[in-house]
């Protein structure tokens, strides 16, 4: 044999499972500490995904037991109340890499590749030689399946043993996974406890119980009964298509016309757009996709990407639907943060959906500030992608870079040189919900750079910063005013009493004098959960400590879009915009006060802890913000746009419908020309718009 033939004879195909067995660090099993967190992560993520898809409120129990301290052998047990896995599918789910239901679906989900839980089985077998024990109960069966699963890495196939049926008593459905592995349990920021804590923040509908190796129980109870919204799989968008993909889609298509193929295969392509794409690509509408040559497919791709134009302009496509996304939403982020971090100020925001390379995404942020956290240390950064905590590679993550790109000094936090992670008693949460999260590695620990997502996250950070600055300024003003008021009320009455006793005269009425010295209008607001009525009570007192009569219109924000109802509103008033209520008050005389009270029904405890108060009037109101009328108009315009009926992509069928050009409807794009008002209003009114 020649040298070339001998070299060729030595070549052979490597199974995907054998590859990852030799490169386990790609999956997050590179150290003993990370191996345990990765295993917990994969099991818990699968449980949450299964429960949400089956519309079940998740109850998850995680237990870690030390089996051999000297050899660092641990046992991990994860049990959930999900729908379970049918017996025939268990060996594929746990014993075959790249087996899953989400890889080809374009929608938001925690897992995509079908690698995670099989990787845990593989690592367990690699480090201890033991199979992974699985028990699964589905609702229609009386007993649960019990089976041990190993992995034949050369064939990427499961090895089953000890298959049996076990009685689960009254439990209707669920899954239990028990595996042993070489791993280390540690405490601190990069620990199983921290991962589960972070998971509970962005999954407030989940009840998570963790039993650590010392037998100590850590319980994060659910704070809402509301499951995340359903996500629907969508078609690929032309902006995110590569040449090879387009060749495959054309070759697999059974459509008889190009226009039908374009409308039915892709999202964002209306009947009009399909005809225009054929025109600019110089393709006949009656062509069959299968018959296209390589050059014709390339021409079509150039039309998708705007390289070929119609009258100097690219074909205008609709943005893809956003029903494929399930953001956490602002109220639930607040509840999640508040249940794990004790603080008085929490600001959250869910940005409008945007699109990057044809993939819909949303950025959500939260900022919590208070005395309970260290003021001389970097803020705690909580990073998430599709509700999954990102525990490692913080410095190289896109979300961290977005935080570092903001000069936090102007918002009340310390930051050396205006760069890097700021310091202060705060925690910053960033969540990316997307149909195609781009990670830096298969271990899914950090997000890779993307200018569009970066700009959107940065805008969100700036709004959070402005909200924090307003809060601190408001607190500072109120503190000084209260200090002045208390001082005046202590000193002046004492002087008056002493003077009156010396002169043997009655103590004069000091109200007018105190009012003249104070010379301020003050708004004091309390927002409290009422245990008896199960409502949120809001109480606003407006004091006129000036020498002149004052007239005001007072406004508040309230979570109307989240389903809240305003009740017990005796002063009436009127709705000015979605989530904005106003009262035109009677003239407030010097030394007098007006009280506004109402309650919010339809919320749960912790949903609404702080009410922003605004005013219209010439005299400044300490404790309230002057209303921005331009902003209010923008909110009204967006409300009208949201209430407008969405377009129908398939409204123009061949030979049907009218010939008029249909209106275009697009989501906000995250480029440098995005409207400033789109971000400005979100923080001012608590992110309801």
H-run or E-run covering 333: helix 330-340
| Same-domain check for residues 197 and 161 | yes
Q: Which two tokens stand for residue 210?
A: 């963790």
Residues of the chain with pLDDT under 70: 10-28, 97-105, 111-115, 339-344, 371-372, 442-443, 478, 511-512, 514-516, 518, 638-689
Of 354, 346, 606, which is closest to residue 458 (Cα–Cα)?
A: 354
Whether residue 675 is contained in a domain is answered as yes
CA torsion, points 478, 481, 484, 485, in degrees to nearest 10?
-100
The count of structural domains within the chain is: 4
Boundary of a domain, candidates 627, 660, 677: 627
Whether residue 313 is contained in a domain is answered as no
Percent of the chain with pLDDT over 70: 85
Of 617, 567, 570, which is closest to residue 595 (Cα–Cα)?
A: 570
Query: 523-574: per-residue pLDDT in tens?
Result: 889 999 999 999 999 999 998 888 889 999 999 988 887 788 999 999 999 9
Residue 410 carries which DSSP code? G
- Looking at beta carbons, which pairs linking 657-664 to residues 24 or more positions away fall under 8 Å? 657/271, 661/272, 662/270, 662/271, 662/272, 664/316, 664/318
Cα 209 from Cα 231, distance rounded (Å): 27
| Same-domain check for residues 156 and 21 | yes
Q: Where are the alpha helices (DSSP H) in 504-608?
A: 511-518
Cα 150 from Cα 136, distance rounded (Å): 16
**Could you give the 3-state DSSP secondary structure of residue 531?**
coil
Residue 15 carries which DSSP code? -
| Same-domain check for residues 33 and 134 | yes
Handedness of CA 354, 356, 359, 361 (dihedral sign): negative
Q: What is the pLDDT of residue 152?
A: 83
Of 579, 561, 581, 562, which is closest to residue 571 (Cα–Cα)?
A: 581
| Same-domain check for residues 379 and 252 | no
| Same-domain check for residues 490 and 472 | yes
Whether residue 2 is contained in a domain is answered as no
Whether residue 4 is contained in a domain is answered as no
Which regions of 183-246 does DSSP assign to beta strands (E)? Answer: 207-211, 217-220
| Same-domain check for residues 410 and 356 | yes
| Same-domain check for residues 478 and 623 | no
* CATH classification of the domain holding 371: 3.30.230.10
| Same-domain check for residues 254 and 213 | no
Of 469, 382, 376, which is closest to residue 423 (Cα–Cα)?
A: 376
Of 426, 397, 423, which is closest to residue 409 (Cα–Cα)?
A: 423
The C-alpha R_g of the chain, in whole angstroms, comes to 30
Whether residue 314 is contained in a domain is answered as no
What angle, rounded to 10 degrees, do the helices at 330-340 and 192-202 form?
150
Q: What is the pLDDT of residue 105?
A: 67
- Quickly count: other Cβ atoms within 10 Å of residue 653's Cβ: 11
| Same-domain check for residues 504 and 637 | yes
Contact call for residues 317 and 273 (beta carbons, < 8 A): yes
663 CB burial (10 A radius; 0-12, 13-18, 19+)? exposed
H-run or E-run covering 297: helix 294-304
* CATH classification of the domain holding 279: 1.10.8.50
| Same-domain check for residues 609 and 653 | no
Whether residue 621 is contained in a domain is answered as yes
The CA–CA distances, whole Å, from 672 to 451, 453, 668, 675, 676 equal: 10, 12, 11, 9, 10
| Same-domain check for residues 296 and 200 | no
Cα 588 from Cα 228, distance rounded (Å): 46
Beta pairing class for 207-211 and 59-68: parallel
Q: What residues pair up with 63 in beta bridges, in sequence order?
A: 77, 211
Residue with tokens 């006949």: 284
238 CB burial (10 A radius; 0-12, 13-18, 19+)? buried
| Same-domain check for residues 415 and 332 | yes
Q: Which two tokens stand for residue 179?
A: 């595996």
Cα 529 from Cα 534, distance rounded (Å): 7
Region of residue 623 (phi > 0: left; psi between -120 and 50: alpha; otherwise: beta): left
Residue 97 carries which DSSP code? T
**Could you give the 3-state DSSP secondary structure of residue 181?**
strand
Boundary of a domain, candidates 576, 606, 627: 627
* CATH classification of the domain holding 548: 2.60.40.1170
Q: Which two tokens stand for residue 371?
A: 């005395």
Whether residue 358 is contained in a domain is answered as yes
Cα 161 from Cα 609, distance rounded (Å): 54
Domain hosting residue 591, numbered range: 513-627
The angle formed by the CA atoms of residues 120, 124 and 127, to the nearest 5 degrees, is 135
Cα 648 from Cα 668, distance rounded (Å): 18
The CA–CA distances, whole Å, from 511 to 341, 488, 495, 542, 591 equal: 43, 11, 14, 16, 7
Query: 200-242: per-residue pLDDT in tens?
Result: 988 889 999 999 999 999 999 988 888 888 888 888 888 888 8
Residue 601 carries which DSSP code? E
What angle, rounded to 10 degrees, do the helices at 32-53 and 116-128 form?
140
Whether residue 24 is contained in a domain is answered as yes
Beta pairing class for 520-530 and 621-622: parallel
Query: 360-386: per-residue pLDDT in tens?
Result: 888 999 888 876 677 788 988 999 988
Cα 440 from Cα 388, distance rounded (Å): 15
Handedness of CA 23, 28, 34, 38 (dihedral sign): negative
Query: 627-671: per-residue pLDDT in tens?
Result: 878 777 877 776 665 565 544 544 444 333 333 333 333 333 333
Which regions of 358-455 does DSSP assign to beta strands (E)? Answer: 359-369, 380-385, 388-389, 426-434
Boundary of a domain, candidates 583, 612, 627: 627
H-run or E-run covering 545: strand 535-545
């Amino acid at each position: 044999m020649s040298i070339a033939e001998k070299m060729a004879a030595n070549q052979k195909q490597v199974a995907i499972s054998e590859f990852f067995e030799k490169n386990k660090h790609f999956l997050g099993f590179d150290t003993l500490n990370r191996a345990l967190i990765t295993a917990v992560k994969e099991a818990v993520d699968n449980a949450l995904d299964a429960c949400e898809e089956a519309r079940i409120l998740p109850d998850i129990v995680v237990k870690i037991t030390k089996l051999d301290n000297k050899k660092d052998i641990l046992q991990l047990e994860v049990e959930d109340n999900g729908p379970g896995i049918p017996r025939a599918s268990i060996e594929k789910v746990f014993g075959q890499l790249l087996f899953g239901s989400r890889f080809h679906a374009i929608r938001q989900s925690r897992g995509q590749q079908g690698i995670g839980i099989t990787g845990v089985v593989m690592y367990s077998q690699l480090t201890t030689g033991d199979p992974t024990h699985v028990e699964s109960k589905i609702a229609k069966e009386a007993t649960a399946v019990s089976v041990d699963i190993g992995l034949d890495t050369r064939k990427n196939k499961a090895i089953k043993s000890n298959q049996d049926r076990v009685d689960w008593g009254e439990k209707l459905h669920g899954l239990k996974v028990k595996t042993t592995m070489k791993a280390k349990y540690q405490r601190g920021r990069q620990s199983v406890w921290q991962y589960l804590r972070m998971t509970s923040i962005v999954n407030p509908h989940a009840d998570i119980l963790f039993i650590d190796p010392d037998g100590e129980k850590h319980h994060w109870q659910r704070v809402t009964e509301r499951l995340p919204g359903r996500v629907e799989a969508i078609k690929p968008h032309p902006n995110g298509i590569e040449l090879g993909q387009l060749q495959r889609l054309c070759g697999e298509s059974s459509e008889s016309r190009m226009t039908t193929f374009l409308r039915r295969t892709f999202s964002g392509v209306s009947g009009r757009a399909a005809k225009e794409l054929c025109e600019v690509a110089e393709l006949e509408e009656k062509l069959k996709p299968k018959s296209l040559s390589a050059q014709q497919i390339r021409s079509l791709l150039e039309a998708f990407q705007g390289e070929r134009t119609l009258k100097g302009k690219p074909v205008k496509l609709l943005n893809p639907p956003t029903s494929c996304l399930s953001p956490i939403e602002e109220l639930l982020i607040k509840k999640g943060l508040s249940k794990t971090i004790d603080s008085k100020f929490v600001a959250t925001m869910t940005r409008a959906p945007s699109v990057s390379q044809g993939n819909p995404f949303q950025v959500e942020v939260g900022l919590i500030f208070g005395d309970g956290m260290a003021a001389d240390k970097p803020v705690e950064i909580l990073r998430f992608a599709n509700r999954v905590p990102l525990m490692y590679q913080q410095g190289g993550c896109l979300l961290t870079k977005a935080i570092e790109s903001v000069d936090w000094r102007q918002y009340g936090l310390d930051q050396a040189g205006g760069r890097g992670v700021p310091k202060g008693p705060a925690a910053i949460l960033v969540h990316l919900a997307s149909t195609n999260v781009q990670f830096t590695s298969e271990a899914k620990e950090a997000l890779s750079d993307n200018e569009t997502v970066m700009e959107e996250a940065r805008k969100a950070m700036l709004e959070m910063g402005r909200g924090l600055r307003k809060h601190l300024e408001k607190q500072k003003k109120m503190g000084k005013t209260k200090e002045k008021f208390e001082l005046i009320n202590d000193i002046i009455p004492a002087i008056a009493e002493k003077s009156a006793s010396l002169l043997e005269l009655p103590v004069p009425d000091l109200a007018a004098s105190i009012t003249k010295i104070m010379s301020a209008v003050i708004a004091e607001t309390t927002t409290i959960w009422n245990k008896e009525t199960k409502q949120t009570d809001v109480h606003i007192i407006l004091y006129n400590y000036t020498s002149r009569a004052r007239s005001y219109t007072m406004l508040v924000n309230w979570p109307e879009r989240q389903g809240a109802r305003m009740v017990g509103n005796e002063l009436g008033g009127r709705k000015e915009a979605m989530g904005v209520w106003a009262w035109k008050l009677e003239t407030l005389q010097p030394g007098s006060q007006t009280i506004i009270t109402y309650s919010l029904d339809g919320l749960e405890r912790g949903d609404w802890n702080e009410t922003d108060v605004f005013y219209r009037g010439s005299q400044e109101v300490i404790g309230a913000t002057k209303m921005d009328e331009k902003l209010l108009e923008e909110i009204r315009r967006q409300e009208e746009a949201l209430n407008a009926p969405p377009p129908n992509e398939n409204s123009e069928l061949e030979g049907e419908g009218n010939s008029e050009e249909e209106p275009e409807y697009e989501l906000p794009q995250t480029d440098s020309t995005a409207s400033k008002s789109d971000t400005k209003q979100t923080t001012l009114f608590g992110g309801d718009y």
